[in-house]
Amino acid sequence: MVKKGDFMNIGQKVLAELKKEIPQVEYDRYIKKLVYDTKNSKSNLAYFNAPNMIVAKWVKTKYADKIQHLFELQDGIKPQIQIGVGKIKETKKRQNTQMADKSSKKSTFLNPSLTFESFIVGDSNQFAYTTAKSVAEKPGQLYNPLFLYGGVGLGKTHLLQAIGNYHIAMGNKVIYTTLEQFMNSFTSHLRSQTMDRFREKFRECDLLLIDDIQFLSGKEQTQEEFFHTFNELYNANKQIVITADRAPNKIAGLVDRLKSRFEWGLMADIQPPGLETKIAIIQKKCELDGIRLNSDIIHFIATHMGDNIREIEGTIIKLNALSSMLNQEITLDFAQNAIKDQIKEKKESITIDDIVKIVSKELNVKPSDIKSKKRTKNVVDARRTAIYLARNLTPNSMPQIAMYFGMKDHTAISHAMKKINEIIENDENFKLLLDELSNKINTKNTNNDKNL
């Protein structure tokens, strides 16, 4: 006789099938934590329990359709998928409470995939990562507030939400909000004369995570309210973590007393990633999403897509989507063709002067020597390198490049390109140098655009 619980129910079978089709890390982190509720499930309803709202929301958003399809394959019926939290009877009550007052949530707008484990650490972000992890482990004790700053798409929001997800897993009350959402909420409660609810939401949490604080600039009334919110939390030893695109003293239109408070704890900047870090980020993204890209494609994306990690990840998603729709393998030619317009835009804003400046700095050769007629080996190598990069990273034609370097005609450029290609074939270290230079040039170009 088979005892109850010794067999695998249909819900377990479906999750076992799903395991075969998704990345192992996603299965372990989310799907494995689901429990199929046989008592409350019906032929047209499949009910799962999740340990918290983060897991429930993530599974529902990303895999509900897939789970539904797998149920259909098992018994021919396509049920509605519901994912609750905790005991069944409490779930509906909790959902109704959350709809009535969003402030009852333990967090808002956290992406469960943004964790410390999924963050790629390199020289450019090591300090920010270490301090963020320390704050997560000892909130309100070490660095309060923690102020993370850096350019667009470098990982500030990832670290901010990693701190939040760390504490959600511990059952703490976390409020994550962008500054824009904070301002909208403030304005709405001010108009409806319900400021007590607004203050309860933002001042009675364990952690307050504020993204893009630079938009507080010039908003006097909002600054006043945020000042008092900050003081309440700080005095209660509640952790505050803030991100911005620049250091507090560089944010114009911010009152001095707020600047001063932002500097009370610790400020950590995130620099643009080096080539090795970008390659590691691409590899990690591919691993998590089950996307196969060979090393040539990864290097191509890393060296040509600037330093915005979100843009790089978007490029990978785009390649995978196109490959799936066209039923074609992702080759280097496929990738180059798919993102040629993005690369064209970058090329149009890179000048040969930019290239010569970076090459001269990295190879320790004066810019004037690179453009001169000198024939010493180090100058010739630097000149060829600059020519090769100018041909690949700018829209300039060979005659235009020849004119810039004071050469007779385009045949000299063609000869230099041929020589560089021969060296690349036989010298892996030189190829890596070119990749690193390309990365620095694209990164510098991206940073220049941000400063316009």
Residue 326 pLDDT? 87
Question: What are the structure tokens assigned to 371, written together?
Answer: 């453009």
- The span from the CA of 308 to the CA of 298, in Å, is 15
Contacts of 166 (CB under 8 A, 6+ apart): 115, 116, 136, 137
Residue 395 pLDDT? 81
Residue 258 pLDDT? 92
- The span from the CA of 59 to the CA of 53, in Å, is 10
Strand bridging mode 35-36 / 45-50: antiparallel
Residue 4 pLDDT? 37
Question: What are the structure tokens assigned to 177, written together?
Answer: 């909000």
Neighbours of 362 (CB within 10 A): 14
Residue 261 pLDDT? 92
Residue 449 pLDDT? 43
Torsion of CA 378, 381, 383, 387, to 10 degrees: -170
SS3 329: coil
Residue 243 pLDDT? 95
Contact 285, 26 (CB under 8 A): no
Question: What are the structure tokens assigned to 60, written together?
Answer: 């529902």
Global pTM exceeds 0.85: no
- The span from the CA of 32 to the CA of 351, in Å, is 52
Residue 136 pLDDT? 93
Contact 221, 253 (CB under 8 A): no
Question: What are the structure tokens assigned to 32, written together?
Answer: 């494995």
Residue 452 pLDDT? 37
Residue 9 pLDDT? 82
Q: What is the DSSP letter of 56?
A: H
Contact 95, 88 (CB under 8 A): no
Contacts 24+ apart (CB under 8 A), 77-83: 77/43, 77/44, 79/41, 79/42, 79/43, 79/44, 79/45, 79/46, 80/44, 80/45, 80/46, 81/46, 81/48, 82/45, 82/46, 82/47, 82/48, 83/34, 83/47, 83/48, 83/49, 83/50, 83/56, 83/59
- The span from the CA of 202 to the CA of 222, in Å, is 13
Low-confidence ranges of the chain (pLDDT < 50): 1-7, 87-107, 448-452
Residue 3 pLDDT? 38
Angle of the 428-450 helix axis to the 340-348 helix axis, nearest 10? 70
Question: What are the structure tokens assigned to 22, written together?
Answer: 């998704």
